[in-house]
Amino acid sequence: MFKNRLSKTVAAIATPIGEGGISVIRISGDESLQILKKIFFLKSGKNIDIEKIKPRYCYFGLIKRDNVILDENLAIYFKAPNSFTGEDVVELHLHGGLVSTETILKYVIEMGAILAEKGEFTERAFLYGKLDLVQAESVLELIKARNAPAHLNAAMQLRGKLSDRLIEIKEELFKIVTVTEASIDFPDEDYDFLEGYRIPQQLTDIKNSLTKLSNSYYDGKIFSKGATVAIAGAPNAGKSSLMNRLLKTDRALVTEIAGTTRDYIEADLYLKGIPVTIIDTAGIRVSDELIEKAGIELSIKKATEADFTLFLVDERGLFGETEEIYKQLSDNKKAIIQNKMDKMGDRFEYSEILISAKFEQNIDELRDLLFKKLTNQSFQSGDLFIANERHKYHIDSALKSIIEALNVIDLKLPIEFIARELRDSINEIGAILGETTTEDILGNIFSSFCIGK
C-alpha cells in the first residue's frame, strides 16, 4: 500500500490525541530537514542550520509562523539509516494539547509533508530493512499489551527472539534441502546418503520445534487477546449470582424466578492479568415460548464458541439439555461447578469444585481454578509464545510439510518429494518473516496500526 508513497515525506502525531504533558509529531522522509528549517527557530531567533545539525541531539527553540510563535519545543534529528524508519526523521516534542498539536501538524503538511497512513512509519521501517515483519507486528502487540506476559513476549519479538528462532529453522532446512537435492544425483546411495547426514533426526528436531511454537498459540492468544468464559446451566442454577460474584458487583439481575435471564449478558474482568469476558447465558431448557427459546439458542451458541464454559449445577445435578451441550464440548474447554453448597453437604463426583454464589463461598478458589483451566501451567513468564493468527497459520503449514517429508522418508518414496516438501516449509517460514509476503497482505497488517506508528 505504501511503496508508491516512499518518495514522499510523511508526518503524523505519534502520541495519543488529547491533553497531556507533551505531544510528539514525527516527520519521515527526504524533506524532513527542509521542513524543520522552515518552521523551527533557535532561541537566538535564527533558523536552525541543517548543514551542521547533529543527529540525536536535542535542540530547544520555537515554532514560528509569520513571526507568530506557535509553541516552544524540542526538535531531534535522526539521520538515515539510523532512525526508526531508516529515512531521515525529525521529531517535534511539543506541549500537549489537541488544538496546538493539530495546528502545528497542519503547518508541517503545508511546508511539504503529507499525512501518514495508519502504520506507515512501521511499514517504512520494514521496507527499508530496519525490521522484519515479525518485529514490525510486535510493535503493535507491544502497544496493545494488556498484561505482563504479553508485554514481555512482544518486547522479545521486537528484539528479534522469534525471528532468530525461525531464521535458524529456515537455515537448517536449507542445509537439509542441499543434501537432499545432492543425493538425487547419486541414485544408488539415496536413502543411505540421507541417513549418513542424519536427515530424519534433523527433521524430527525441526518438527518438535515447530510443534512447540504452534502449541504456544493458545496461551499466547489468551494472554494477548484475552478469553471468553460462558456460564451455562439449567434455569435457576445460580448463573447470574455467580457472574455478580466474579465481577464483585451486581451486574446481572437475580430473582427466584426460573428463566429470569432471557438473553445473554457480557461483562469484562481481569483474572490475574488475563482480560476475560464473562458471559451469563439464559438457562438451558426445552421451551416453546418464542423469546425464551431464541435466548436459549443464542446462549448455546455462546457457550460452544467460548474459550471456556463453566457449567453450573445445583442439587439437581447435570441433566437434560445442559448435559447434551456439555457433552459436545472438548474436555479442555469445560468444567462442572457445583453451586448452592449451603444446601448440600457433598460434592458430586463429576463436579470440580463446590461453591455458594449466594453466600460467596469458595469464589476465590473458583477464580484460581478458572485461571488454571485457561492457561498452560507449564508456561513461565518470559517464555516465548506466538499470539498472532497469521504466524500460527504459516507455522502449521510449515509443520505439515515437515511431517509429509518424514512420511516420504518412512515410505522410501522418490527423494524429489522430500525436497519439494522442505521448500514449501521454507516458503511458509519466509512468509512469517515477510520475505514472500504480498503487498495486499502487508496492507492488511499495517492498516490495523494507529496513525503515527
Give the model's pLDDT for residue 377. Answer: 53
Lowest mean pLDDT among 93-97, 186-190, 359-363, 371-375: 186-190
> Quick check: 240 and 257 in contact, CB under 8 A?
no
Q: What residue type is assigned to position 361 of the chain?
A: Q
CATH 3.40.50.300 in the chain: give the residue spans. Answer: 225-374
- What pLDDT, on a 0 to 100 scale, did the predictor assign at position 23? 94
Mean pLDDT score of the chain, rounded to an integer? 86
DSSP 327-368: HHS-GGGEEEEE--GGG-SS--TT-SEE-BTTTTBSHHHHHH
Give the model's pLDDT for residue 190: 61
Tell me what the mean pLDDT of segment 83-107 comes to. 95
Specify the pLDDT at position 332: 82
Residue 261 · residue 252 · CB < 8 Å: yes
Task: Name the DSSP letter for residue 85.
Answer: S
Q: How confident is the model at residue 382 (pLDDT cuts 50, 70, 90)?
A: low
Nearest-angstrom CA–CA distance, 306 and 31:
51
Between 46 and 284, residue with greater pLDDT: 46
| CA 450/CA 354 separation, integer angstroms | 46
State the Cα–Cα distance between residues 434 and 126, nearest whole angstrom. Answer: 9
- Other Cβ atoms within 10 Å of 36 Cβ, number: 26
CA dihedral over 108, 110, 114, 117, signed as positive or negative: positive
Domain with CATH 3.30.1360.120 in the chain: 3-131
Please report, as a single letter, which amino acid is at residue 288.
D
Which segment of 207-221, 338-352, 377-391, 418-432 scores lowest on mean pLDDT? 377-391
Check if the beta carbon of residue 445 is closer than 8 Å to that of residue 138: no
Position 378 pLDDT exceeds 60: no
Most confident residue range from 61-65, 285-289, 299-303, 376-380:
61-65
pTM score, whole prediction: 0.78
CA atoms within 13 A of residue 349's CA, in its CB half-sphere = 0
pLDDT band with cut points at 50, 70 and 90 for residue 263: low
pLDDT computed for residue 254 by the predictor: 45
What percentage of the chain carries pLDDT values higher than 90? 45
Query: For the segment 196-226, what is each residue's pLDDT rounded down to a tens digit?
Result: 778 899 999 999 999 999 998 988 888 888 8
Mean pLDDT, residues 304-328: 85
CATH of domain 3-131: 3.30.1360.120
Fold of 139-216+386-433: Four Helix Bundle (Hemerythrin (Met), subunit A) (1.20.120)
Work out the average pLDDT over 97-115: 95
Query: Which one-letter DSSP state was computed for residue 71?
Result: E
Q: Is the pLDDT of residue 256 over 60?
A: no
For 232-265, the DSSP string reads EESTTSSHHHHHHHHHTS--S---SSTT---S-E
Q: Which fold has domain 225-374?
A: Rossmann fold (3.40.50)
Residue from 433, 362, 427, 352 nearest 391 by CA: 433
Q: pLDDT tens for residues 30-59? A: 999 999 999 999 988 888 888 999 999 999
Helix, strand or coil, per DSSP, at residue 130: coil
Q: Is 153's pLDDT higher than 60?
A: yes
- For the residues 78-90, what does the mean pLDDT come to? 96
Residue 160 in grid coordinates: 528479534
* pLDDT above 70: percentage of residues in the chain: 88
The model's confidence at residue 293, banded by pLDDT at 50, 70 and 90, is low
Map grid coordinates 539509516 to a residue: 81
- Phi, psi at residue 226, to the nearest 5°? 95, 180
Residue 221 is predicted with a pLDDT of 85
Q: Where are the alpha helices (DSSP H) in 159-238?
A: 161-184, 190-196, 199-215, 217-225
User: Minimum mean pLDDT among 20-24, 80-84, 207-211, 234-238: which range?
Assistant: 234-238
Between 439 and 237, name the one with better pLDDT.
237
Handedness of CA 60, 101, 18, 11 (dihedral sign): negative
24-38, 73-87, 343-357: range with lowest mean pLDDT = 343-357
Paired residues of 172 in beta bridges: none
Please report the pLDDT score of residue 198 as a whole number: 86
Residues of the chain with CATH 1.20.120.430: 139-216+386-433
What residue type is 411 in one-letter code?
Answer: L
Q: Is 109 helix (H, G, I), strand (E, B) or coil?
A: helix
pLDDT of residue 258: 45
pLDDT tier for residue 395 given thresholds of 50, 70 and 90:
very high
Do the beta carbons of residue 23 and residue 13 sit within 8 Å? yes
DSSP character for 416? H
Q: What is the DSSP letter of 190?
A: H
